[in-house]
Structures are given as structure tokens and as C-alpha cells.
Amino acid sequence: MIKNLGSRKLRRTSSHRHAMLRNMATSLILHERVQTSTAKAKELRSFAEKVITQAKKGDHRAVRRVIHNRTAFSKLFDVLAKRYGERMGGYTQILHVGTRRGDNSPQSLIRLAS
């Protein structure tokens, strides 16, 4: 019996997919919003929320494995971990913004909740 377990593959190898999610999570932390395809936004949501939860717990090593940018790393611990200290989850919001002009794929804006 086939079950749909796991995450979206996004037509990428696992190493490319992991690198893409790391880069998108870094951009989300730095700019607090990223516009991308809806499928990538839904994958980024769970990836970024796990990183923010690890930062709230103070786990520097686990976050360093994912976030390599020093500015994003310091912002994550200094600003975002304090902002979401009392929140139990749901740090991101996905807003649908229409379709891309070139291939008509659905686009979304993922941003950090205030």
C-alpha cells in the first residue's frame, strides 16, 4: 500500500532541496518575507518553524547546522527567539498572491507573523 508520507520533492535531489530550504530560511529570517511558489512556501513553513523553535530552546549547534549567515544567526537568537518566546508555534503566514506570468504557477508570500 502506497502512502503519501514525507515532504514534497520539488523536482530536486535531496541535497539541492536541503540547500534551497536553508537559503530560503535564511532569507526569511533576514527579510521576514519571501515570495515564492506555493509548494516551496508550504515546505519552507515547517522547515523555518523548526529552526525558530530550536532557537527558542537555545540550541545553538542545531541552528548553526542550518543557518550559516552570521547576521541571520544573531537576528534569530536576539530578535526572533524573544519575539516568539511565549508563542507555541505558528510563526509564519502564507498569503497567496496570484500566479507567475511565465508559467502560470501559483505564487505565495510567506512571512513571519507579528
Q: How confident is the model at residue 109 (pLDDT cuts 50, 70, 90)?
A: very high
Answer yes or no: is 1 within a domain. no
Q: In this structure, are strands 92-99 and 106-112 parallel, antiparallel, or unpaired? A: antiparallel
| Residue 7 lies inside a defined structural domain of this protein | no
Q: What is the pLDDT of residues 13-52, one digit of tens each?
A: 999 999 999 999 999 999 999 999 999 999 999 999 999 9
Q: Which three cell numbers stand for residue 77?
A: 537568537
Domain that holds residue 74: 14-112
5 falls within a domain:
no
On whether residue 39 sits in a domain, the answer given is yes
Contact 19, 41 (CB under 8 A): no
CATH of the domain at 87: 3.90.1030.10
Where do runs of H (alpha helix) occur along 32-66?
38-57, 60-66
Beta-carbon contacts of residue 74 (< 8 Å; ≥ 6 apart): none
Q: How many domains does the chain have?
A: 1
Is 96 inside any structural domain?
A: yes
Q: Taking the CA of residue 84 as centre, how many other CA atoms within 13 Å lie in the half-sphere pointing to its CB?
A: 25
